[in-house]
Structure 1
Amino acid sequence: RGGGIQEGEHTGYIRMRGLPFTTTSKEIANFFKDYDPIESSITLTCRSDGRATGEGYVAFKSPEDAQKAMTLNRGSIGSRYIELFISNEEEHTRSLSRSMGR
């Protein structure tokens, strides 16, 4: 497991995979709206050429909110289903160096 995250451990961050390449941070905030996402934390990762990778990160106000938001795993944004993974602040911060908010 990346980042040394133990099974069941949750730090308030979720990594998303399978996002439509045109997804905006507003769409992600709306997807998680019932679980108190921190909108300013939403990060969409991009390749070096600026194209979206289909991955992103979002933080929640508490680890409990993030754990509840995991119930949306395999939910849909647009026509794609989104996979959710427990993440952490370190992984989110690393993604900032290769991403841009939209």
Structure 2
Amino acid sequence: MLDLYIHATTEAAAKAALPALLDTEGNWCLGSHRWCFDPVGAVVDTPASFDAAGNLLAAATFLPGWRGNLRLLDESLLPLLDASGLLIAAPSMPTRFWA
């Protein structure tokens, strides 16, 4: 089992680079007997802040790009994914964890 992290400029760019993870309608397939996919999307850099009355003081800001997590149950798929150019090192502070 191997956990991988994906970073693309946009979700459309990720879909173009990883067509094997899409269904026939272009939607993400979340898993098979060989892999599991967690499309994360945008990651918050600075959370929104509110006053005591619940009024927005500052909107949230986001890190650039689109992200996803991929768990390979079949590591023989790794060469196919390496060719996508989207794999990155594990983030130091992930926002989601595999259960």
Bin of the TM-score, shorter chain as denominator length: 0.3 to 0.5
Taking structure 2 as the reference length, the TM-score comes to 0.41
More helix by share: 1
Taking structure 1 as the reference length, the TM-score comes to 0.41
